[in-house]
């Protein structure tokens, strides 16, 4: 039972790290076997949804290199793919989305469903530095 909880916790950590652009920690989780396409059970977001929503280009590249599926939809009423969560042309280029849709520039949708706490309240610089220190101590 705790193994299942550990897997879910590590999947949630991956989503959090990708939303904050912490590619070093995200890489370590992926390398340890965390599923890049795991979806949050509440909102259906993957790590790619989280990275795209926050325009984290390096995290998006990392996830795509490790097989993130850009076609997975979340649990919002309109079933959004990661590409539906951004209007950033650089992000759309990474995802391979065409920016022009029906003659209009792609605009970010306002309804994204439930947004995880770490997206609405990103960690402080101090908290990020503390997390890096803990990671270094774990590796020693």
- For 27-37, what is each residue's pLDDT tens digit? 999 999 999 99
Contact between 55 and 93 (Cβ < 8 Å): no
Average pLDDT over residues 58-86: 93
C-alpha to C-alpha distances, 10 to 21, 58, 83, 112, nearest whole angstrom? 16, 20, 24, 23
What's the pLDDT score for residue 135? 76
If one compares 117 and 87, the residue with the highest pLDDT of the two is 87
Average pLDDT over residues 8-27: 96
C-alpha 83/C-alpha 71 separation (Å) is 9
Average pLDDT over residues 73-77: 89
Question: Residue 80: which pLDDT band, with cuts at 50, 70 and 90?
Answer: very high
Q: Detail the DSSP E strand segments found in 13-133.
A: 100-101, 104-105
What's the pLDDT score for residue 110? 42
Handedness of CA 16, 20, 22, 26 (dihedral sign): positive
What confidence tens digit (pLDDT) does each residue in 90-135 have? 999 999 865 444 333 444 444 455 666 555 555 555 565 667 667 7
If one compares 107 and 13, the residue with the highest pLDDT of the two is 13
C-alpha 24/C-alpha 30 separation (Å) is 10
CB atoms < 10 A from the CB of 60, how many? Answer: 27
Which domains, and CATH codes, for the chain? 2-111 (1.25.40.20)
Average pLDDT over residues 77-82: 90
C-alpha 84/C-alpha 46 separation (Å) is 13
């Amino acid at each position: 039972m705790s193994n299942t909880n550990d897997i879910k916790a590590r999947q949630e950590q991956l989503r959090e790290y990708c939303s904050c652009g912490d590619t070093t920690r995200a890489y370590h989780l992926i390398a340890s076997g965390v599923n890049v396409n795991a979806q949050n059970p509440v909102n259906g977001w993957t790590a790619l949804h989280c990275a795209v929503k926050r325009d984290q280009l390096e995290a998006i590249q990392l996830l795509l290199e490790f097989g993130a599926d850009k076609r997975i939809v979340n649990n919002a009423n309109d079933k959004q793919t990661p590409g539906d969560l951004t209007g950033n042309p650089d992000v759309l280029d990474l995802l391979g989305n065409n920016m022009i849709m029906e003659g209009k520039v792609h605009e970010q949708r306002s309804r994204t469903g439930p947004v995880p706490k770490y997206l609405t309240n990103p960690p402080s610089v101090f908290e990020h530095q503390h997390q890096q220190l803990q990671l270094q101590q774990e590796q020693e």
